[in-house]
């Protein structure tokens, strides 16, 4: 039983880290979407190019966070499985 607790504890902490990171990412997506919507309503005369540039930058940043988290978890799982 004692030999099993090490890997189980490792996977529990990995799952906890992934849940926290995904939750934070979704929170940031929500904050960014609300902010962009509010800004887009106020910026009537401005070009949509600025809106798409800011939205694209936020999307790339959030994708980097999500894919980075997934890559780290994949690496830990592959390393732990071998």
Taking only the tens place, the pLDDT of each residue in 31-41 is 877 887 787 77
Which runs of consecutive H residues, i.e. helices, occur in the chain?
A: 2-42, 48-81
- What pLDDT, in 10s, does the model give residues 8-59? 677 777 778 878 887 887 888 788 778 877 877 776 666 677 777 877 888 8
Cα 58 from Cα 4, distance rounded (Å): 41
């Amino acid at each position: 039983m004692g030999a099993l607790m090490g890997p189980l504890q490792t996977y529990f902490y990995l799952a906890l880290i992934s849940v926290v990171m995904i939750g934070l990412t979704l929170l940031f997506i929500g904050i960014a979407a609300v902010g962009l919507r509010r800004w887009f309503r106020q910026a009537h005369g401005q070009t949509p190019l600025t809106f798409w540039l800011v939205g694209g930058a936020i999307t790339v940043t959030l994708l980097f966070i999500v894919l980075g988290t997934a890559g780290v978890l994949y690496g830990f799982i592959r390393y732990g499985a071998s």
